[in-house]
Amino acid sequence: MILTSFLKAVGQLGDDRRFRRVLWLGLALTVALLFVFYAGFLWLVAWASPEQLTLPLVGEVRWIDDLLGAGSILLMLVLSVFLMVPVASAITSLFLEQVAQAVEDRHYPALPPAKKIPFFDQVRDTLGFMAVLIGANLAAFVLYVLVTPLAPLIFWAMNGYLLGREYFTLAAMRRVGREQAILMRRRHGATIWIAGTLMALPLSVPLVNLLIPILGAATFTHLFHSLQARAPSG
């Protein structure tokens, strides 16, 4: 079910102009957000580093700024793995409506119009979830240090759980409302967690992770409809 949903999402990239337009918009915004983070980090490095460093027996070291600047590029590639998690959350929240509509127009044309989620509800949910996501990842750094060999598994499992909850809830709310979406999420928690973890895995791969927010939104739209179709009637 999960693999089928993902393959349908990937397949729509090739022949759906509207889907590709949303994908390119999402890519552009993702790169822009990562660039803002990177620019802010470089400014922090420049502010924190001394203009001139003097070492015993060595004297003045004038290349420290160049070293920090070059090292920051490598460091930001590593940090992008963690930055892509909140970025993916923000991109999904912004574009899920358009992605889900494109998916439903292609694969579920008989459906009635989806419910519109009030703008301020979207903003509240997005900000609240991003706060939880960032807080959880900051707290997880303690575990990464204590059990370093297990750090990737902790990262994937935790963010898979959190992202799966958000992806599915946003997709389901359009069709069944908030309360029913939460009930479905609880009923199918294991499936949603696995799907979210499979989305979190490529988020840790630089460049590949740029595609995941939009593909994840499409995948969870398919997953919602698959789970709803299997639900017992009455």
Backbone angles phi, psi at 150, to 5 degrees: -95, 0
Over residues 94-108, the mean pLDDT reads 88
**pLDDT tens digit sequence for 170-203:** 899 989 988 999 999 999 999 999 999 998 888 8
Stated pTM of the model: 0.78
**HEC letters along the chain:** CHHHHHHHHHHHCCCCHHHHHHHHHHHHHHHHHHHHHHHHHHHHHHHHCCCCEEECCCEEECCHHHHHHHHHHHHHHHHHHHHHHHHHHHHHHHHHHHHHHHHHHHHCCCCCCCCCCCHHHHHHHHHHHHHHHHHHHHHHHHHHHHCHHHHHHHHHHHHHHHHHHHHHHHHHHHHHHHHHHHHHHHHCHHHHHHHHHHHHHHHCCCCHHHHHHHHHHHHHHHHHHHHHHHCCCC
Q: Which of 53-62, 133-142, 170-179 has the lowest mean pLDDT?
A: 53-62
**pLDDT tens digit sequence for 203-220:** 877 777 778 888 888 999
The per-residue pLDDT of the chain, averaged, comes to: 79
Tokens of 7: 């393959």
Tokens of 41: 């980090």
Considering only the C-alpha atoms of the chain, give the largest distance between any 2 of them, rounded to a whole number of Å.
82
Tokens of 226: 């698959």
Contact at 8 Å (CB) between 155 and 204? yes
Domain ranges of the chain: 2-230
**Cβ-based neighbours of 96, under 8 Å, separated by 6 or more:** 167, 170, 171, 217, 221
pLDDT at residue 224, rounded to an integer: 95
Contact at 8 Å (CB) between 107 and 8? yes
pLDDT at residue 91, rounded to an integer: 76
**pLDDT tens digit sequence for 35-50:** 777 777 667 666 665 5
Burial of 9 (0-12, 13-18, 19+ CB in 10 A): buried
Over residues 150-165, the mean pLDDT reads 89
pLDDT at residue 192, rounded to an integer: 95
- pLDDT higher than 90, residue 23: no
| Percent of the chain whose pLDDT exceeds 90 | 21
